């Protein structure tokens, strides 16, 4: 939660504990001038950081990783205070962030460093080199739901690629953002390669429209992504947009139903359902539908808000969750909970079956501990329904048949699919992460995530002049052109069928 103090100058805001309403910290609202100053400092730091080279950056980022690991409990406790999530869940997200930081630090040189590429037959006298250079200052705008894991997916990869970072954490979790930057100063005391500016949306907008920003890595809602793109348009600043989702889980006829129910439940309810790649819709093939529902509801009865998961972090989200529960229960068959499950700031699990596919509970991101379950004739119908969404972030398939599961996974609309597990792709640093459609574009994580924060530099070097092949010169004669056409006809002129 967040609370503003209403003064015009030196404005501050409080981050609040969503479970108790108590103040966790008070932070400045950085205006455009403060953002400008931070970006200016970052610009100098970026040159120094780029000069340091891969080995220097790797050593410091691995040290930062160790510092974060040593401070795991302290960070987890602050994540718990600012978001309300249990410390165990906070620990899990920090561990994932550590894994990504390690991967990005170790792999940056191999992925981005200079390497020779083939120059082709026509370029036989040329040496071709490709390398990926840093962009400069990357602006990261983050959400509150995973205040360590999510922004680190951009911050770690941007830093490893040789950029400096100015991070605008969510106004609900500014303390976590500041702590991450403070710990970085232990590993890199010389220059502010990772700074934090705090504030609300307007601070984020100032960052997005700052001319010193080379790229914005935005994670948050689709509606805000559009506003960020508008701000970026002024300077033609490129953007990575990691937005919301309405992820589906498909249960096949030969799936392990206990495991599928367990995964659906955790995917939907953990972090109170406030997960971009959380399970919101479940499609189950007819033959196993009733048994799956028994497995699901039986397990769900053991899960309580305030015990296995925390409160709804952002008070404004409660109204959306309530509206979706009302819509779902009005159009479908309630299996667990209902409107009475909302007892602010907590929401107990809600499961509703047979909700019409055009209900907002099925089409819009709920971001709460609710699940809609639908019976389908077969996995083809499940896939068609799963894919009929404006969003396309991730998804899950449970099946005993690997070939069918892989085929479904490939055809699922979205950047990531987990098979017989839930959200497992997020813990594999080599796998890129990102969406399609309303879920955004661009990728964090993996080699693609490193390249997202770098620009390719192509260099061709002539090693010797090709005798009789002076093609890019006004001294070229007809004989050279004839030789070229002969060669290209030999290489490319034969049809295979």
List the one residue from 27, 168, 215, 246 that touches ligand NAD (CB under 6 A): 168
| Contact flag: residue 417 with ligand NAD (CB under 6 A) | no
Q: What CA–CA distance (Å, rounded) separates 491 from 280?
A: 54
Q: Count Cβ atoms within 10 A of the Cβ of residue 265 and give its class: 0-12 exposed, 13-18 middle, 19 or more buried.
A: buried
Least gap, CB of 209 to ligand NAD (angstroms): 8
Among 81, 82, 93, 242, binds ligand NAD (CB under 6 A): 242
Following CA atoms 134, 416, 168, 236 in sequence, which dihedral angle do they give, to the nearest 10 degrees? Answer: 50
Q: Interface with ligand NAD includes 414 (CB under 6 A)?
A: no
307 is catalytic: no
Is position 143 an interface residue for ligand NAD (rule: CB under 6 A)? yes
Q: Between 52 and 178, whose beta carbon lies closer to ligand NAD?
A: 178
Listed ranges 32-40, 70-78, 239-247, 259-267: which one lies at the site for ligand NAD (CB under 6 A): 239-247
Whole-angstrom distance between the N-terminal and C-terminal Cα of the chain? 66
Interface with ligand NAD, residue 100, by CB under 6 A = no
Nearest distance in Å: CB 414, ligand NAD: 10
DSSP code of residue 11: -
243 is catalytic: no
Choose, by CB under 6 A, the member of 24, 76, 141, 178 that binds ligand NAD: 141
Residues 6+ away with beta carbon under 8 Å from 274 = 145, 312, 313, 317, 367, 368
Using CA atoms, how far apart are residues 354 and 348, in angstroms rounded to an integer?
A: 20
- SS3 of residue 74 by DSSP: helix
- Least separation in angstroms between residue 392's CB and ligand NAD is 11
Q: What is the DSSP string of 364-421?
A: S---SSEEEEEEESSHHHHHHHHH-SSEESEEEEE-S-HHHHHHHHHHSSSSEEEESS
Choosing from 81, 82, 89, 171, the residue that interacts with ligand NAD (CB under 6 A) is: 171
- Interface residues for ligand NAD in 249-288 (CB under 6 A)? 276
Mark the segment that binds ligand NAD (CB under 6 A) among 79-87, 121-129, 204-212, 256-264: 204-212
CB 275 within 8 A of CB 219: no
Binding to ligand NAD by residue 83, rule CB under 6 A? no
Distances (CA, A) of 84 to 198, 361, 371, 409: 20, 24, 21, 33
Which of positions 352-381 make contact with ligand NAD (CB under 6 A)?
365, 367
Q: Does 427 bind ligand NAD (CB under 6 A)?
A: no
Classified as helix, coil or strand, 480 is helix
Report, as residue numbers or ranges, the catalytic residues.
242, 276
Binding positions for ligand NAD, rule: CB under 6 A: 141-146, 150, 168, 170-171, 200-201, 204-205, 208, 219-221, 224, 227-228, 231, 242-245, 276, 314, 365, 367, 393, 435
């Amino acid at each position: 939660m967040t609370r503003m103090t209403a003064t015009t100058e030196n404005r501050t805001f409080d981050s609040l504990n969503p479970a108790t309403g108590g103040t966790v910290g008070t932070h400045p609202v950085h205006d455009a001038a403060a953002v400008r100053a931070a970006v200016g400092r970052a610009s100098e730091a970026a040159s120094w950081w780029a000069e340091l080279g891969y080995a220097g950056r790797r050593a410091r980022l691995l040290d930062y990783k160790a510092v974060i690991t040593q401070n795991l409990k302290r960070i987890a406790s602050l994540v718990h205070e600012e978001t309300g999530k249990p410390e165990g869940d906070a620990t899990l997200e920090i561990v994932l962030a550590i894994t990504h930081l390690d991967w990005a630090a170790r792999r940056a040189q191999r992925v981005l460093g200079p390497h020779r590429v083939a120059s082709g037959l026509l370029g036989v006298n040329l040496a071709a080199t490709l390398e990926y250079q840093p962009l400069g200052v990357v602006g990261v705008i983050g959400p509150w739901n995973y205040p360590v894991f999510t922004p680190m997916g951009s911050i770690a990869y941007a830093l490893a690629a040789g950029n400096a970072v100015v991070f605008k954490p969510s106004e609900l979790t500014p303390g976590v953002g500041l702590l991450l930057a403070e710990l970085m100063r232990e590993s890199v005391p010389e220059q502010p390669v990772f700074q934090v500016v705090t504030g609300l949306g307007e601070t984020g907008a100032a960052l997005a429209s700052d001319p010193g920003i080379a790229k914005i890595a935005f994670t948050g809602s689709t509606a805000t992504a559009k506003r960020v793109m508008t701000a970026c348009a002024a300077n033609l600043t490129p953007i990575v947009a990691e937005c919301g989702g309405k992820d589906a889980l498909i249960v096949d006829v030969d799936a392990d139903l206990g495991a599928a129910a367990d995964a659906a439940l955790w995917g939907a309810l953990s972090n109170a359902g406030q997960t971009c790649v959380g399970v919101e819709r479940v499609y189950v093939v007819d033959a196993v539908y009733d048994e799956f529902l028994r497995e699901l509801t039986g397990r769900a009865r053991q899960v309580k808000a305030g015990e296995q998961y925390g409160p709804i972090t952002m008070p404004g989200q409660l109204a959306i969750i309530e509206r979706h529960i009302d819509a779902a229960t009005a159009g479908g068959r309630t299996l667990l909970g209902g409107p009475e499950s909302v007892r602010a700031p907590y929401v107990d699990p809600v499961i509703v079956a047979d909700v019409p596919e055009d209900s907002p509970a099925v089409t819009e991101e709920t971001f709460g501990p609710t699940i809609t379950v639908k019976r389908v004739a077969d996995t083809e119908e499940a896939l068609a329904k799963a894919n009929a969404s404006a969003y396309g972030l991730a998804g899950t398939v449970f099946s005993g048949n690997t070939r069918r599961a892989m085929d479904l996974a490939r055809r699922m609309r979205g950047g990531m699919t987990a098979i017989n597990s839930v959200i497992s792709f997020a813990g594999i640093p080599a796998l890129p992460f990102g969406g399609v459609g309303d879920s955004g574009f661009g990728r964090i994580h993996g080699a693609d995530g490193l390249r997202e924060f770098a620009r390719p530099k192509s260099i061709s070097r002539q090693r010797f002049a090709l005798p009789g092949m002076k093609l890019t010169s006004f001294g070229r004669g007809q004989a050279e052109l004839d030789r070229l056409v002969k060669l290209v006809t030999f290489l490319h002129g034969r049809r295979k069928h």
